[in-house]
Structure 1
Amino acid sequence: MQRTFALRRHKAIGCDPMISDFTMRWPALFDVTEINAEFKRITTIPLQSKFLSQLDLYSANLLKMFESTTGQKGKQLKALTNNMDTDDIDAGRDLLIKGLCLYLNEDPGDLVQEFIDVDEMIVEGAIEKTTMGIFTLKNTASEDDVRIVLDGVTVIQDLETVAFASAMLLGLIYSLNLSYPKKLSCTFEVLQKIIMELDGGVLSYKAQSLKTKLHQCE
């Protein structure tokens, strides 16, 4: 994969290929280990460790911001954080990702689609209609399955958490030179520029406001 890196970057940036082309030509690119490696080749920054550690670093301040929010959005955030188990780090991270979407006036359902005890055929139908997103399948008869979907295709599955899947999705966006979905542009901007501290010199109004409030909560 290291030897073919330049060729992949040329194809991703210059040829605007279909996801199916990449899955067939470089299937290893859709492995968690390789996504981490590819992201570091592009940015020189470790993806998984930095994403999760930064999310933990900002967690207390994000919760303060959520709790101080008023109006309908405040009610939605409080309903979300009321379900947070402070002893479960993974569940807390997942709720922070969803709360971040809400706080930025974006729909968490556009990022994460949840299915509980649903027939696989229904899930596959929803996947085919999805350009980019995370699917969580909860089944009382088996362990939860978290998947990443691109262009109507499941490219990774059997992930453990939404936060981890969000990190891997960000890595794939960089690796494949994909655009952020318009409905989630602010959320991904914050994940990129504030959480990962990449290209953070210029921020949108929403992202700058969030960054300012994060530091005010310190």
Structure 2
Amino acid sequence: MGRVLKDIVAPMAQDDDVDLGRGCIIKGLCVYLNEEPGNLVKEYVGADETNERSIEETTVGIYVLKADCNSNPDDIGIVIEGQVVLQELDNFPLAVAMLFGLIYTLNLDYPRDLKYTFEVLQKIIMELEGTTLSKKAQVLKNRLCE
């Protein structure tokens, strides 16, 4: 896990972009909670039918479309039940916040493969309904309070 986290936060040392740092921390949170960041955000290079089909098959998540591997994103959006509900967002952390807000306000169940990440966002970060925590979330909260 340490090597994976090191690779995730490496871009933060090269760039002072606040949004890049926030994105690295969100992905690192997923890894720390033994969840795959790829289940939260999927990056696609180039616009073609395969990418569009993959986005339509997404239950809940964020997509990032790029023209090529090294370019800035052309589009960042949110997919719920195969439908793009928000698009042309400014950055990945904003997309995560918007996705959390949509899930919370629409009273949707958290995706099974990201339930701990969203629980931490809700109960520890946002301090909403944080009376009972799962064991993973409680361990993280205790470590943050040390």
Unaligned runs of 5+ residues in structure 1 are 1-72
- TM-score calculated relative to the size of structure 2: 0.92
1:149-188 matches, within 5 Å, as: 149-188=79-118
Matched-pair identity in %: 52
Structure ranking higher on relative contact order (CA contacts 8 Å, 6+ apart): 1
Alpha-carbon distance, 1:177 to partner: 1.4
Question: Which portions of structure 1, spanning 4 or more consecutive aligned residues, are displaced by more than 6 angstroms?
Answer: none
Provide the residue aligned with 1:111 in structure 2: 40
Q: RMSD over aligned Cα, in angstroms?
A: 1.5
- Do the aligned partners of residues 143 and 82 (structure 1) sit closer, same or farther apart at CA in structure 2, a change above 3 Å counting? closer
Greater Rg by CA: 1
Alpha-carbon distance, 1:127 to partner: 1.2
- Do the aligned partners of residues 143 and 205 (structure 1) sit closer, same or farther apart at CA in structure 2, a change above 3 Å counting? closer
Distance 1:161 1:78 in 2: 22
- Do the aligned partners of residues 76 and 158 (structure 1) sit closer, same or farther apart at CA in structure 2, a change above 3 Å counting? same
Distance 2:73 2:100 in 1: 24
Partner amino acid for 1:94? G
Distance 2:34 2:16 in 1: 28
- TM-score calculated relative to the size of structure 1: 0.63
Distance 2:137 2:21 in 1: 22
1:22-37 matches, within 5 Å, as: none
Structure having the higher helix fraction is: 1
- Do the aligned partners of residues 143 and 184 (structure 1) sit closer, same or farther apart at CA in structure 2, a change above 3 Å counting? closer
Is 1:192 aligned with 2:122? yes
Distance 1:104 1:154 in 2: 27
Is 1:81 aligned with 2:9? yes
- Kindly indicate whether the alpha-carbon contact (under 8 Å) linking 1:144 and 1:160 is maintained by their aligned counterparts in 2: no
